[in-house]
Amino acid sequence: MTILRNYKSSFVLLGGMILGSIIGIIMGPKATMFMPLATIFLNLLYCCIVPMIFTSLVSAIANMESTKKLGKILSMMIGLFIITGIFAAIFMLLVTITFNPAKGVSLDLKETIDAGKASTDFVGMLTVNDFNLLWSRQNLMALIVFTILFGIATSSLGEKGIVIVQFFDGLSNVIIKLVGYVMKLAPIGLGAFFASLIGEQGSQIAGPLSRSLIIFLFASLVYYFVSNTLFAFIGGGREGISLFWKNILPPSLTSLGTCSSAATIPTNLIAGEKIGLSKEINNLVVPMGANLHKDGAVLIQILKIVFMCEVFNINILEPKNFITAIVIAVLASCVMGAIPAGGYTGEIFIMSAFGLPQVAMPIMILIGTITDAPATAINSTGDISVGMMLSRFIEGKDWYNKPKSVESTHISITPVKSPSVN
């Protein structure tokens, strides 16, 4: 009964996703009729992301003791992002070299695709040229940079800025409450999303790339449990492992159902707060991690690289190719979601580094599409486990027992009666 009570909301959410998957299998492409329900839920959630990042981050930085601590957190956080990305890349290389994802695959590579939407605008990753553009989830990194500067400016005012700090503290709590209301729709919204996804892409998943998908599912499942458990242990020992797995299910299921790291930011912030991450660490790591820390995307990039190297007879075991694969995978995973219109950035990096022809693009995009959901779950949950390690290094061994500056706000997902399906 204790387990049922503690995980009730997660079970409800999981039940909605399983029901949606079954409906997608039964109805096939016709299941896309449920997509409007998913769109309503996702749009409401997306509308919460920008104000939640802005208010919570300003509040955290403005209440921080010094800008020196902010610099320490940011530098150590970036270092952990890179280290865990390299760890993910090496892990996936070992898996794909052992289990050849392209074995027995015969592909028609005559198809081409327009890569004109891809972008390598690294300046656009950090800044925008008009104030109103900050308030788009397509420019989250630019928003984070502006918010950090705004928070530092507010903090520097001292007593004159107290009113502003109090305002953002209160507004942050309001946004968290609003997210709680939106998440009540999660069982229906994510169930509808899964029904549409399975119904529309079922044939692709069962097609010639099924071996790659099976290998990736195996690798991602192992990495999800092993890496998060390891990082949580480094962060908080056995107690850290218990805290992590007790609170990570809602973000895991939300990311799995939405295939969006950005959409998981609200539930991730709540999970980090329940685990005991300090306000400044939680509100920095989660939004920045959603853009820059994507171990799941690293796994996908390695899968693409090894797959295409096998197809075009490139020896991935050569030291130069092996190291290049790691660098490209980590770099592409960092920038592909943070750069505006950077959808095909990862593929372009891979093609350029390994000299692949343009016809490799559609195959890599297809691989990315069918592996997106489990990769997103790894992306999002990894931000919390990195936050736990960061807390250990910044705040000491017993960081989760230290009193927090603000009272925790708990959000639960309550079941909503699902509409009948004819």
Total residue count of the chain as it appears in this document: 422
Q: Does residue 1 fall inside a structural domain?
A: no
The stretch 271-286 carries a mean pLDDT of 91
Q: Does residue 350 fall inside a structural domain?
A: yes
Q: Does residue 58 fall inside a structural domain?
A: yes
CATH number at residue 56: 1.10.3860.10
Q: What is the pLDDT of residues 353-376, one digit of tens each?
A: 888 887 777 778 778 877 888 999
Rounded to the nearest 10 degrees, the angle between the axes of helix 8-27 and helix 186-205 is: 40
The stretch 237-264 carries a mean pLDDT of 89
Q: Does residue 155 fall inside a structural domain?
A: yes
Q: Which residues of 296-310 are buried (b: 16+ CB within 10 A; e: fewer)?
A: bbbbbbbbbbbbbbb
pLDDT at 191: 86
pLDDT at 122 over 50: yes
pLDDT at 410: 43
Cα 236–chain centre separation:
22
pLDDT at 408: 41
Q: What angle do CA 276, 165, 132 make, to 5 degrees?
A: 100
Domain that holds residue 379: 10-401
pLDDT tier for residue 301 given thresholds of 50, 70 and 90: very high
pLDDT at 205 over 90: no
pLDDT tier for residue 123 given thresholds of 50, 70 and 90: low
Alpha-carbon distance of 216 to 298, in angstroms, equals 12
Q: Does residue 185 fall inside a structural domain?
A: yes
CA dihedral (176, 141, 248, 419) in degrees, to 10, reads: 60
pLDDT at 114: 42
**Helix residue ranges, H only, 99-161:** 123-126, 140-156
Domain count, the chain: 1
Higher pLDDT, 361 or 351: 351
Q: Does residue 407 fall inside a structural domain?
A: no
pLDDT at 303: 94
pLDDT at 381 over 60: yes
pLDDT at 236: 93
Higher pLDDT, 326 or 5: 326
pLDDT at 337: 55
Q: What is the pLDDT of residues 29-75, one digit of tens each?
A: 888 898 898 889 888 888 888 888 888 888 888 877 677 888 889 89
Of the candidates 355, 309, 260, 334, the one whose C-alpha atom is nearest the C-alpha of residue 46 is 260
Q: Does residue 392 fall inside a structural domain?
A: yes
pLDDT tier for residue 335 given thresholds of 50, 70 and 90: low
Q: Which long-range contacts (CB under 8 A, 24 or more apart) does 72-81 make?
A: 72/394, 73/280, 73/281, 73/284, 73/390, 73/394, 74/284, 76/390, 76/393, 76/394, 77/284, 77/285, 77/288, 77/386, 77/390, 78/292, 80/386, 80/389, 80/390, 81/289, 81/292, 81/293, 81/334, 81/386
Q: Does residue 147 fall inside a structural domain?
A: yes
User: Strand, helix or coil at 336?
Assistant: coil
